[in-house]
Chains A and B, each alone.
Chain A
Amino acid sequence: MSALFTSPLRIFWLALLACGMLAPLFLPTYYVSVATQILIFAVLAMSVDVLAGFAGRTPLCHGAIFGTSTYVVLYCAAHAGLPLPLAMLLGVLAATVLAAVFGLLAVRTSGVYFLLLTLALGLIVWGVCLRWTQVTGGENGLRGQLRAQVGLSSRELYAAVLFVVAIVTFAMWRFVRSPFGLTLRGVKDGESRMSSLGYNVPLHLIIAFTASGYFAGIAGALYAVFNDFVSPSTVQLSQSVSGLLMAIVGGIGTLFGAFVGAFLIIALEQAVSMFTERWLMVLGLTFIGIMIFAPEGVLGKARLIMAARKLQK
């Protein structure tokens, strides 16, 4: 913790952040729900960043892991009649197990192969959700009244989500800063070096993958309560892509940048959907634009531009 509070400036920023996080509580309901969504997706983006930024493996299946948790929570709570906390627990568990299986399969590959494989695995989840109509409801999806069951207003829900997200964020921060997280960074920077030093690289990657799936599962469980509805579009590729895009926009390897990324992408989505239904096209164009002009993310790009300006002076 000490690293976080070293300078007065840091404390100022943290205070400002806390105010910013609490501000939506005093805004109209629409903004409250957008803010809740931003928090949930920031967790998804951070879970992607744990793998992409710290273990050097860019995954394209986190939307599917996230959505699996959402499906399980809604199915258990609304169709199997389990109490919500148990349903959420099961959802997170399902996501973690799924991530462990994916991890087992994927860790031997790296780079583009890893991306391809995780993409295919995620698409298989989508295909199953689409076709296994008895359980998943097919195209119609699953609907529940989870929020009504627990009796939370949208402001209370935001506060609850904020609380959970704060804890999860802290956990992820500890995770990537832990000796284990440092080993992961070592794997990212020099895999063969780490394995010749005696580290069990595949095991580290499987654990990292499972942990990142666990975090994505928490986001998915929160999303189930927030949205009260899940359909194949929750597990489809565009979900994984948005999660990755948020992580990239915020800056891969920054962890907290995910909040900025989630804010920018969801704000863009909300703004675009006021004018047109072509959100997917805008998402695609944004992705292309980011890949060509700012692969280091918006913050990273801004930092580079500032640095260049300073040099000129």
Chain B
Amino acid sequence: MLAFQIMNGLTFAALLFVVASGFTLIFGLLRIVNLAHGALYLFGGYIGFTISKLTGSFLIGGIGAMLCVAIMGLLLDQGLLRFVRGFELRQVMLTLGVAFVLNDLALVMWGGDTFTVATPEWLQGAVVIGSLFYPKFRIFVLVVGILVFISLWLLINKTRLGALIRAGVDDLEMVEACGIDIRRVFLVTFMLGSALAGLGGMLGGTFLALYPSADAEILVFSLAVVIIGGRGSLVGAAIGSLLIGLLNTFGQVWFPQLAYFVIFGPMAVLLAFRPLGLFGKAA
């Protein structure tokens, strides 16, 4: 039973990491707290649901969801955020407005019913690990989470783009002064972060469910992860996801009705000692 709960916590943490890593990437580099991230997650789920239903392929659904949500990110950045560049609070509040619009739009397009994306055949059923029967799909989510972590880590630490992103997080003016077109790096990061929200929506839509307030719920978790992990830190996001994922799962077992309250604890303790999160740096 304990092993089962731990696995549940780990798989939920993997989902959280996929969503929150996109959030923290955008926050770290662009200094934009994209509060529409939860709405992008929800759209990713709904779009993935629709595409995979039409085509009958989970994979095409997932790719479609990531592409569509990346394009939504592009439109959000180029269409709206460009008007408020440089004003941190205005940016945040603008994305909040976008979150409301998107949430309501999703309600218009898909209605208020609960959907789950159909699990593809090759991921149905359970795996036996020792004495534990565990759903294959949740293991798949865990694997995806780990793959996303590895590829993001490689991207950030081993590629030119990653070097630019890291440099941008540390000192933006200096990068620009070196003659780098940081706007393009910004745009790529924004689209990458959005695509991760879309991927998260697809995964979450399969093993959790999609409903009109799912965006706010995932947003709380992502915020908690980033508050714990610190702005723009990949490792911080991973640790934060693990902490929140496990706490939330065990919270639901021990105090089913107050599970939300349980994530409040570590956040409070951490903030008392490190207001900027575990790996956060002052902007």
Q: Which residues of A contact B (CB under 8 A)?
A: 58, 60, 105-106, 108-109, 111-113, 115-117, 119-121, 123-124, 126-128, 131-134, 236-238, 241, 244, 278, 280-281, 283-288, 291-292, 295
Contact = CB atoms under 8 A, between A and B. Distances in A.
Contact of A281 (B96, B105, B226): B105
Contacts of B108: 278
A120 B220 contact: yes
A67 B104 CA distance: 22
A238 B212 CA distance: 14
A124 B261 contact: yes
Interface in B236-265: 256-261, 263-264
A60 B256 CA distance: 26
Contacts of A295: 87, 90
B271 A127 contact: no
Contacts of B88: 111-112
Of all A-B residue pairs in the complex, the 7 with the closest CB atoms, nearest first, are A284-B100, A287-B97, A127-B260, A284-B101, A288-B97, A281-B104, A123-B220
B216 interface: yes
27 contacts: A105-B272, A108-B272, A112-B88, A113-B276, A116-B33, A117-B227, A119-B35, A120-B224, A120-B227, A120-B267, A124-B220, A124-B263, A126-B216, A127-B259, A127-B260, A128-B260, A131-B260, A237-B96, A238-B100, A244-B93, A280-B100, A280-B103, A281-B105, A283-B97, A284-B103, A287-B96, A287-B100
B258 A131 contact: yes
Contacts of B256: 131
Given A112-B89, A291-B93, A127 B100 contact: no
A225 B130 CA distance: 59
Assign chain B's interface to a size class.
Answer: 35 or more
A108 B219 CA distance: 22
B260 A124 contact: yes
B241 to A, nearest CB: 15
Contact of A112 (B33, B94, B104): B33
B217 interface: yes
A151 to B, nearest CB: 36
B80 interface: yes
Contacts of A244: 93
Contact of B104 (A60, A124, A278, A287): A278
B258 A119 contact: no
Contacts of B93: 244, 287, 291
A295 B86 CA distance: 13
Given A124-B261, A131-B258, A133-B257, A284 B89 contact: no
B84 interface: yes
Interface of B: 31, 33, 35, 80, 83-84, 87-90, 92-94, 96-105, 108, 216-217, 219-220, 223-224, 226-227, 256-261, 263-264, 267-268, 271-272, 275-276
A60 B93 CA distance: 10
B90 to A, nearest CB: 5
Contact of B100 (A108, A112, A113, A281): A281
B96 A241 contact: yes
A291 B223 contact: no
A247 B31 CA distance: 25
Contacts of B257: 131-134
A286 B104 CA distance: 14
B216 A123 contact: yes
A238 to B, nearest CB: 7
A109 B219 contact: no
Given A58-B89, A127-B261, A283-B97, 8 more contacts: A60-B96, A112-B89, A119-B35, A121-B264, A131-B260, A281-B104, A288-B98, A295-B87
B84 A292 contact: yes
Q: Which of A117, A120, A133 has the most CB of B within 10 A?
A: A120
A43 B43 CA distance: 36
A289 B275 CA distance: 32
